[in-house]
Structure 1
Amino acid sequence: MGLPGARKISDLNPGTRLNIKVKPRDLPYDRSGVVQFRNVILMDTSSSVKGEKVITLKLENGYNVMLDEERIRIDGVLDDENIFDSEIRDGGPARTPSSVDSDEELPPITIISTGGTIASRVDYTTGAVHPVKDGSEILSIYPSMANLCRLDVRTVMNELSEDMSPREWVVIARAVKKAFEDGARGVVVTHGTDTMHFTSSALSFLLRDLPGPVVLVGSQRSSDRPSSDAFINLEHAVITASRAVLDRVVIISHEGPSDGTSIIISGTRARKMHTSRRDAIRSIDSPPIGRVVGKRIELDIPPVRLDPARKISIVGRFDRTVDMIFIHPGISQEGLDSMLKGKKGVVIVGSGLGHVGKRLIKVLKKHIDRGMICVISSACIHGRVDLNVYSSGRNLIGAGVIPSGTMTPETALVKLMWAMGTAGSEGKDRIISLFKEDIAGEWGSSTPFSEGL
């Protein structure tokens, strides 16, 4: 199929599929060295480098290339329909950003962008990645969003996941509160995956009386890679925010390595369990609370009644002096003592059921006696901390440590930060009381015996 009147590739619309020939500079097309590319997608025709017009194309392997327009010859137009419109799955014709804004039948959803690749766009001139600034930019990257909701995009920061801290958690919580107060049905928070489970725990403890779902989502692979999970992740996050009857903080993640189904994980039960897999974020010691299958929500928890008029609040603050220490064979009493000096709170990640070598228990007791709060977690990740099985555990209880149940070490850390910051000057008993209170399902009720195996 051809396109009448198209003499140059820049005459075509972005989204067109075509075959092309690319020649080396200063050589005719009938000489050796000409390279053929089949089934490429025209991405952009408006960029220039050093005064020369360049064309951005997506190759069959999913990667983007930029080429001088004068070196490209069209070798056949395969499909002159805009592929960005035609690939909106099961959603019908795409709406323009302006028609989305005026369609009152669609639920209002706020996307809060904090950084990461999932809510970023590529500048094909410089290769830099920039956070999106408004709904029209989101729609240009993820056109299927136009059929799901009325978008309001708010960029509150542009931080890598590893640079997040309690200060950023509070900024995000305030942005979520403002979004609901402005009428959002649900809120999506885009976030890097590495520390997303810290942030989801923090928001779970801070945000109360939610009138709708808060959905954290990220991507393991950038949107210009053929194996990117960004598109399906954001789509399923928006579906969850716009349709799920939930009043809690959750994370959306691939259920398996392939596209199709996503799991909905309670914010305090999530953990990243793989460096690069698309299904890296898992629900720990508790089944997922639901799934997104296509555009259908399946919830496995008792229904709740959402009240849009509910007044959302932010409760508490974080004490940043809390630390996490992993116990390992060979750690010395002097080394542990040095790490604990000046600490008001610590999460000790022990072995097995929550064990610490007997020579170290006296070091912990010394600091607990001076007022330090000490919580014990397990490096096993799965399973419950139980200090009543062996004598070392009972000695830890005698020293005054607090077992963390089925909480992950990360959730226990965030919970202790929150309990200490919220209690303020009310004292140790108040801190312990707040830590032991089940606020967002972090304590859990049971542990599947086969979980994690």
Structure 2
Amino acid sequence: MIHILYTGGTIGMQPSADGLAPASGFEALARAAQAQRSDAPQMPEWQLKELAPLIDSANMTQPQWQRLAQECWEARRQGASGVVILHGTDTLAFTSGALAFLLATLDIPVIITGSMLPAGAPQSDAWENFFGALTAFEQISTPVVEVFFHDICMAAWNCRKVRSTGRHAFVPAWEDTHASANTQLAKLGNLRINADASPQVATLTLFPGIQAAYAEPLLQAVDGLVIECYGSGTAPSENSALMAAFERAAERGVLLLAISQCAQGNVVFDTYAAGSRLAKAGVIGAGRMTREAALGKLYWCCSAELDAEQRRYWLRQNVLGEHGSV
């Protein structure tokens, strides 16, 4: 039995006076659509749970990642052979990046999908993604978390939304994901997540002229920060106040994780002196991770029942292949 968690999103939206809005009743629509399909007898059995309140994914919050993870674990306890999460596309990659780590030790597959147009709308992609996700379980032989969109399955930590219209909205950030995964996952068995944790994680994009005064309030407010650096992981290293702010935050136990602003960028701190200065300030390089996966991994590390040094250890590890080969 496949358990479906319906969070809202475009796939089940209906028109309102203010535009498309989340709506109940998706299960009835899906059952009716399935009955009209020639392959209906071959579809796996499924049951659907609406996660009230249904939301536009623009309103997704980090604590809701924990709720989704708990719902997946509960589905497993109820005997589910897999889980489909129906999610709005705006923040789907962020949720996927977090669940890739929060569900890393779950022993059933999870597929996350949605649509760019509501079910029933002309030329909607809702049913091709919904039923495509259900049939995709036939090709999944390991308990992974993946995103399914327009006939493509991609690792949950490796997807990126690149278009706001059209069917091909999501693409893999990197193509060699399965080849780069290593054995770190096997070491996660004893790692416990505090389901009641509410860590604060955020992102900071570097830009020419950034000042410590801009970054300091954020550094004071968070448990973890993704720093979106230039190129291979460089920053304004001659801005001593900014570097000192990073260093003080790291000393307080704030997890600082550096990614590249380049779509195909790898963070390698020792390539340039301007990158080495970040490493000396206590910033951890994330290799080729996407913004969404980096934020999700930070949330996972900050939610784990670990001390500060253990969290830094796991942040450095290439748990799912997310760092790439560097």
TM interval, shorter chain, is 0.7 to 0.9
1:38 matched residue in structure 2 = none
Q: State yes or no: 1:146 paired with 2:28.
A: no
2:75 matched residue in structure 1 = 179
Equivalent residues in 2 for 1:90-101, closer than 5 Å: none
> Greater share of helix residues, 1 or 2?
2
The one-letter code matched in structure 2 to 1:384 is N
Q: State yes or no: 1:409 paired with 2:291.
A: yes
Distance in structure 2 (CA, Å) of the matches to 1:402 and 1:226: 47
Equivalent residues in 2 for 1:158-177, closer than 5 Å: 158-177=54-73
Cα deviation digits, residues 292-348 of structure 1 (max 9, x gap): xxxxxxxx999xxxxxxxxx9994145432221111112223222233234332111
Q: State yes or no: 1:331 paired with 2:223.
A: no
Give, in angstroms, the shift of residue 110 of structure 1: 1.7
1:398 matched residue in structure 2 = 280
1:71 matched residue in structure 2 = none
Distance in structure 1 (CA, Å) of the matches to 2:313 and 2:218: 26
The one-letter code matched in structure 2 to 1:270 is C
The one-letter code matched in structure 1 to 2:47 is D
Give, in angstroms, the shift of residue 405 of structure 1: 0.9
Give, in angstroms, the shift of residue 171 of structure 1: 1.6
Q: State yes or no: 1:371 paired with 2:260.
A: no
Return closer, same or farther for 1:361/1:235 CA change in 2, 3 Å cut-off: same
The one-letter code matched in structure 2 to 1:252 is F
Q: State yes or no: 1:155 paired with 2:50.
A: yes
The one-letter code matched in structure 2 to 1:434 is W
Cα deviation digits, residues 5-51 of structure 1 (max 9, x gap): xxxxxxxxxxxxxxxxxxxxxxxxxxxxxxxxxxxxxxxxxxxxxxx
Q: State yes or no: 1:110 paired with 2:3.
A: yes
Question: CA contact under 8 A between 1:376 and 1:404: conserved in structure 2?
Answer: yes
Q: State yes or no: 1:343 paired with 2:235.
A: no
Structure 1-normalised TM-score?
A: 0.62
Distance in structure 2 (CA, Å) of the matches to 1:441 and 1:159: 31
Equivalent residues in 2 for 1:314-325, closer than 5 Å: 315-317=192-194, 319-325=198-204
1:54 matched residue in structure 2 = none
Give, in angstroms, the shift of residue 152 of structure 1: 0.8
Distance in structure 2 (CA, Å) of the matches to 1:313 and 1:120: 40
Match of 1:429 among 288, 309, 312: 309
Question: CA contact under 8 A between 2:98 and 2:299: conserved in structure 1?
Answer: no
Distance in structure 1 (CA, Å) of the matches to 2:234 and 2:21: 47
Structure 2-normalised TM-score?
A: 0.84
> Greater share of strand residues, 1 or 2?
1
Match of 2:318 among 438, 449, 453: 438
Equivalent residues in 2 for 1:298-309, closer than 5 Å: none
Give, in angstroms, the shift of residue 373 of structure 1: 2.2
Return closer, same or farther for 1:365/1:174 CA change in 2, 3 Å cut-off: closer
Match of 2:167 among 264, 275, 278: 278
Return closer, same or farther for 1:122/1:339 CA change in 2, 3 Å cut-off: closer
Return closer, same or farther for 1:141/1:129 CA change in 2, 3 Å cut-off: farther
Which one has a bigger Cα radius of gyration?
Answer: 1
Distance in structure 2 (CA, Å) of the matches to 1:150 and 1:313: 33
Question: CA contact under 8 A between 1:374 and 1:401: conserved in structure 2?
Answer: yes
Return closer, same or farther for 1:390/1:422 CA change in 2, 3 Å cut-off: same
Q: Quote the RMSD (CA, aligned, Å).
A: 2.8
Counting aligned pairs with the same residue, the percent is 28
Q: Provide runs of 4+ in structure 1 moved above 6 Å.
A: none
Equivalenced residues, count: 307
